[in-house]
Amino acid sequence: MKIQSQLWLVLTVLFLATSLGVYLVVADAYEERLQASYEQVAFAQGAALLEDFAQVYPESPQRLMGYLQKYSEQLQARLIILDAEKKVFADSFEVLPPKTRLELAVLNKGEGYASHFAQTDAFGYVQYTLLPFGQAAGYLLLIQEAEALSAELSTFRSWMLRVLSLAVVILFLLSYVVAAWLTEPIRKIIAALKQITPRKRVFALTYRRQDEIKELIEAIAGMVAELNLYDERQRRFLSTSSHELKTPLATMQLILENLPYVRSDEERFQEFTQDLVFQVQKMKQMVEQLLQIMRLGDRPLQKEDVSARELKEHLLQVFQYLAQQQDVTLEFELQDVTFHVDRQLFLRALDNLVANAIRYSPRGKTVRIAVKREQGAKVISVCDQGIGIAAEELPRIFEPFYRANDATAWNQEGSGLGLAIVKQIAELHQGQITVESVPQKGSCFHLRLPAK
């Protein structure tokens, strides 16, 4: 069942329940008001009768019976005189013998004026009114058929049913309009989503109300924009990958084509062979890094605590020899900081940063690695004194295959994927990687992770 139909059904049931509640409440209130007015009339009639009955009760039972029968005929009611114990003293219908005890609800309502309405199948409403004598110990019980009350209530209830039935029909139609109005944005969203194709990813929908639907539209628009951005990055990534792979393949093809011609020259043959091995190794490295980038998002993080001291020991073990070969000094500035990270990925990111710092540092320079806390974050900074990066190149250095300073030179060590991997690893840990650089003075890369 569609949301519009569900909403229509819910509103209809709600209106029906509300209408039924209104009918019951209003009908009961009207009935109580009518009964109150009938009580006042009965009390007034009974009070007038008591003045005559008090003159003969209880001394003259015969005269009292005459009064009872006279007024009973006039009022079309049954009049019963009760003694102090609320037992029958005289009955205008002469049916109940004296001392008969009646079981009526009105007799249990205290010693003062009382009234009670009972609904019967044969007569409709019957009104029982009890009035005490002033001086004498006794009561007047007035029993009347409340035909007018029954008729008025029946008329009022019929009118209420007609009015509410009309209201229900109107509200039924109105609920359809309201349901259609409320679900119209959803239908528009569905229609707009159906227009999205692999070739055309556009989600443009105008919505002016400030509610959850607008938040949903904005979320979908954001998702489509992210999807387009991702698709654009994928296309650019594939294009760049194919271009970068084409270059070594072309070089390898050229070497292989010329290899037979230099077979007799052992020195040149050895040189060609070494170049071929170098290109194969570079290509293998690039493919491995491409696979790393593609698989990083699918690999669940296996987090554990890694201390600053462990980071230092790892970096010295991996890079101490390389730094000595390059005549580069490694300096550490460590605070007592522990990172809760995926050890393998985190060390891979750090290795990339330190390897780049050593690679681009002139001989005799220093690479500084600092670990510290900084305003709700844990930060690792890797700073070199190398060639630096131009300001216009900084926004792009984390893109795959982008290499500042002659990035197209294949014989330059590195594939241009290292910083892209670092950025992806940082984001997997809800962190970020930033860079500060001054050409010919050096660069500082800051890997920030949340403190919690």
Q: Does 271 fall in a domain? A: yes
Q: What confidence score (pLDDT) does residue 407 get?
A: 37
Torsion of the alpha carbons at 107, 38, 69 and 54, rounded to the nearest 10: 60
Based on the fold, state whether residues 330 and 243 are members of the same structural domain: no
Question: Averaged over 103-114, what is the pLDDT?
Answer: 85
Q: Of the candidates 96, 125, 154, which is a domain's last residue?
A: 154
Q: Does 262 fall in a domain? A: yes
Question: Averaged over 34-47, what is the pLDDT?
Answer: 88
Based on the fold, state whether residues 7 and 58 are members of the same structural domain: yes
Least confident of 20-34, 231-245, 325-339, 404-418: 404-418
What H or E segment, with its residue span, contains residue 308? helix 308-325
Q: Does 187 fall in a domain? A: no
Q: Does 180 fall in a domain? A: no
What H or E segment, with its residue span, contains residue 196? none
Q: How far is it between the farthest Cα atoms of the chain?
A: 160
Tokens of 159: 């009118």
Q: Of the candidates 296, 328, 344, which is a domain's last residue?
A: 296
Of the two residues 62 and 447, the one the predictor is more confident about is 447
CATH number of 119's domain: 3.30.450.20
Asked if pLDDT for residue 286 goes beyond 80, the answer is no
CATH number of 233's domain: 1.10.287
Q: What confidence score (pLDDT) does residue 405 get?
A: 55
Q: Which stretches does DSSP call E strand in 72-179? A: 77-83, 88-91, 114-120, 124-132, 138-145
Based on the fold, state whether residues 226 and 111 are members of the same structural domain: no
Q: What confidence score (pLDDT) does residue 409 get?
A: 36
Based on the fold, state whether residues 309 and 339 are members of the same structural domain: yes
Based on the fold, state whether residues 56 and 124 are members of the same structural domain: yes
Of the two residues 438 and 236, the one the predictor is more confident about is 438
Q: In angstroms, rounded to a whole number, what is the distance separating the alpha carbons of residues 361 and 440?
A: 10
Q: Which amino acid is present at 335?
A: Q
Other beta carbons within 10 Å of 236: 13
Contact 153, 30 (CB under 8 A): yes
* Residue 123 binned pLDDT confidence (cut-offs 50, 70, 90): low
CATH number of 345's domain: 3.30.565.10
Based on the fold, state whether residues 140 and 254 are members of the same structural domain: no
Asked if pLDDT for residue 411 goes beyond 60, the answer is no
Q: Does 160 fall in a domain? A: no
Backbone angles phi, psi at 375, to 5 degrees: 45, 65
Asked if pLDDT for residue 233 goes beyond 80, the answer is no
Based on the fold, state whether residues 264 and 305 are members of the same structural domain: no
Contact 280, 272 (CB under 8 A): no
Q: Does 181 fall in a domain? A: no
Based on the fold, state whether residues 348 and 267 are members of the same structural domain: no
Domain range for 250 is 195-296
Based on the fold, state whether residues 219 and 309 are members of the same structural domain: no
Asked if pLDDT for residue 80 goes beyond 60, the answer is yes
Torsion of the alpha carbons at 427, 429, 432 and 438, rounded to the nearest 10: -110
Based on the fold, state whether residues 356 and 327 are members of the same structural domain: yes
Asked if pLDDT for residue 371 goes beyond 80, the answer is yes
Percent residues over pLDDT 90 in the chain: 24
Q: What confidence score (pLDDT) does residue 408 get?
A: 39
Cβ burial, residue 378 (10 Å; 0-12/13-18/19+): buried
Based on the fold, state whether residues 233 and 352 are members of the same structural domain: no
Percent residues over pLDDT 70 in the chain: 94
Contact 367, 382 (CB under 8 A): yes
Q: Does 190 fall in a domain? A: no
Q: Of the candidates 137, 154, 171, which is a domain's last residue?
A: 154
Strands 366-373 and 329-334: parallel
Q: What is the DSSP letter of 141?
A: E
Q: Does 168 fall in a domain? A: no
Contact 78, 67 (CB under 8 A): no
Q: What confidence score (pLDDT) does residue 335 get?
A: 92
User: Which residues neighbour 184 within 8 Å (Cβ) at sequence distance 6 or greater?
Assistant: none
Instruction: Count up the domains in the chain and report the number.
Output: 3
Closest CA to 290 of 330, 340, 234: 234
Asked if pLDDT for residue 301 goes beyond 70, the answer is yes
Other beta carbons within 10 Å of 292: 17
Based on the fold, state whether residues 213 and 121 are members of the same structural domain: no
